[in-house]
Amino acid sequence: MATWQEIEADARAFAARVRRCFEAGTNKTIATLRRDGAPRISGTELRFADGEVTLGMMAGSVKLLDVRRDPRVALHSPTIEPPKHDMSAWLTVPASSRGG
Protein backbone atom coordinates (compact mmCIF):
# COMPACT_ATOMS: atom_id res chain seq x y z
CA MET A 1 0.00 0.00 0.00
CA ALA A 2 1.31 3.45 -0.87
CA THR A 3 2.00 5.96 1.89
CA TRP A 4 0.45 9.43 1.73
CA GLN A 5 3.95 10.83 1.19
CA GLU A 6 4.35 8.61 -1.91
CA ILE A 7 0.96 9.69 -3.25
CA GLU A 8 1.87 13.36 -2.79
CA ALA A 9 5.15 12.79 -4.62
CA ASP A 10 3.75 10.66 -7.47
CA ALA A 11 0.35 12.31 -8.04
CA ARG A 12 0.56 15.91 -6.82
CA ALA A 13 -2.65 17.17 -8.46
CA PHE A 14 -4.68 14.20 -7.22
CA ALA A 15 -3.25 14.52 -3.69
CA ALA A 16 -4.06 18.23 -3.64
CA ARG A 17 -7.70 17.54 -4.67
CA VAL A 18 -8.08 14.84 -2.00
CA ARG A 19 -6.58 17.11 0.62
CA ARG A 20 -8.92 19.99 -0.32
CA CYS A 21 -11.94 17.69 -0.02
CA PHE A 22 -10.93 16.39 3.40
CA GLU A 23 -9.91 19.81 4.72
CA ALA A 24 -13.24 21.38 3.68
CA GLY A 25 -14.75 20.55 7.08
CA THR A 26 -13.86 19.08 10.44
CA ASN A 27 -15.97 15.94 10.75
CA LYS A 28 -15.22 12.96 8.55
CA THR A 29 -16.86 9.53 8.54
CA ILE A 30 -14.90 6.32 9.00
CA ALA A 31 -16.06 2.77 8.44
CA THR A 32 -14.22 0.06 10.37
CA LEU A 33 -14.86 -3.66 10.67
CA ARG A 34 -16.32 -5.16 13.81
CA ARG A 35 -15.00 -8.45 15.17
CA ASP A 36 -17.80 -10.31 13.31
CA GLY A 37 -16.95 -8.53 10.02
CA ALA A 38 -19.93 -6.16 10.07
CA PRO A 39 -19.23 -2.50 9.33
CA ARG A 40 -19.10 0.12 12.07
CA ILE A 41 -19.62 3.75 10.99
CA SER A 42 -18.45 6.57 13.21
CA GLY A 43 -17.21 10.12 13.10
CA THR A 44 -13.53 10.96 13.13
CA GLU A 45 -11.11 13.77 12.47
CA LEU A 46 -8.25 13.61 10.00
CA ARG A 47 -5.02 15.57 9.78
CA PHE A 48 -2.37 15.81 7.05
CA ALA A 49 1.14 16.50 8.41
CA ASP A 50 4.67 15.64 7.36
CA GLY A 51 3.60 13.30 4.57
CA GLU A 52 1.28 11.29 6.82
CA VAL A 53 -2.46 11.08 7.43
CA THR A 54 -3.52 10.83 11.07
CA LEU A 55 -7.00 9.78 12.17
CA GLY A 56 -8.50 10.87 15.48
CA MET A 57 -9.35 8.01 17.85
CA MET A 58 -9.50 7.91 21.64
CA ALA A 59 -7.27 5.40 23.42
CA GLY A 60 -9.26 2.26 24.17
CA SER A 61 -12.18 3.26 21.91
CA VAL A 62 -14.08 0.58 20.03
CA LYS A 63 -13.08 2.35 16.79
CA LEU A 64 -9.39 2.01 17.67
CA LEU A 65 -9.86 -1.62 18.70
CA ASP A 66 -11.50 -2.28 15.32
CA VAL A 67 -8.57 -0.70 13.45
CA ARG A 68 -5.95 -2.53 15.48
CA ARG A 69 -7.73 -5.82 14.77
CA ASP A 70 -8.22 -5.07 11.05
CA PRO A 71 -6.58 -1.93 9.59
CA ARG A 72 -8.85 -1.78 6.54
CA VAL A 73 -10.99 1.35 6.74
CA ALA A 74 -13.09 3.49 4.44
CA LEU A 75 -13.06 7.26 4.86
CA HIS A 76 -15.58 9.82 3.68
CA SER A 77 -14.78 13.50 3.46
CA PRO A 78 -17.07 15.98 5.19
CA THR A 79 -20.38 16.72 3.52
CA ILE A 80 -20.55 20.42 2.82
CA GLU A 81 -23.95 21.98 2.24
CA PRO A 82 -24.19 24.54 -0.57
CA PRO A 83 -25.02 28.09 0.43
CA LYS A 84 -28.83 28.35 0.48
CA HIS A 85 -28.73 31.72 -1.29
CA ASP A 86 -26.48 30.44 -4.13
CA MET A 87 -27.08 26.83 -5.16
CA SER A 88 -24.69 27.29 -8.09
CA ALA A 89 -21.83 27.35 -5.56
CA TRP A 90 -22.26 23.59 -5.01
CA LEU A 91 -19.02 21.81 -5.87
CA THR A 92 -19.52 19.54 -8.87
CA VAL A 93 -17.13 17.05 -10.35
CA PRO A 94 -17.41 16.48 -14.12
CA ALA A 95 -18.19 12.88 -15.07
CA SER A 96 -14.97 12.75 -17.11
CA SER A 97 -12.87 13.18 -13.95
CA ARG A 98 -14.79 10.43 -12.11
CA GLY A 99 -13.82 7.87 -14.70
CA GLY A 100 -17.38 7.56 -15.98
Tens of pLDDT, residues 44-73:
999 999 999 999 999 999 999 999 999 999
Q: Provide the pLDDT for residue 94.
A: 56
CATH code for 4-79?
A: 2.30.110.10
Query: pLDDT digits over 23-46, tens only?
Result: 999 899 999 999 999 999 999 999
- Bridge partners of 39, per DSSP, are 33
Long-range contacts of 38-46 (CB under 8 A, 24+ apart): 40/66, 44/75, 46/22, 46/75
Would you list the domain boundaries of the chain?
4-79
Residue 18 DSSP symbol = H
Count the residues in the chain. 100
Letter string b/e over residues 61-95, b meaning 16 or more CB atoms within 10 A of that residue's CB: eebeebbeeeeeeeeebbeeeeeeeeeeeeeeeee
Q: What pTM was computed for the model?
A: 0.73
Give φ, ψ of 54 to 5 degrees.
Answer: -115, 135
Is pLDDT of 16 > 70?
Answer: yes
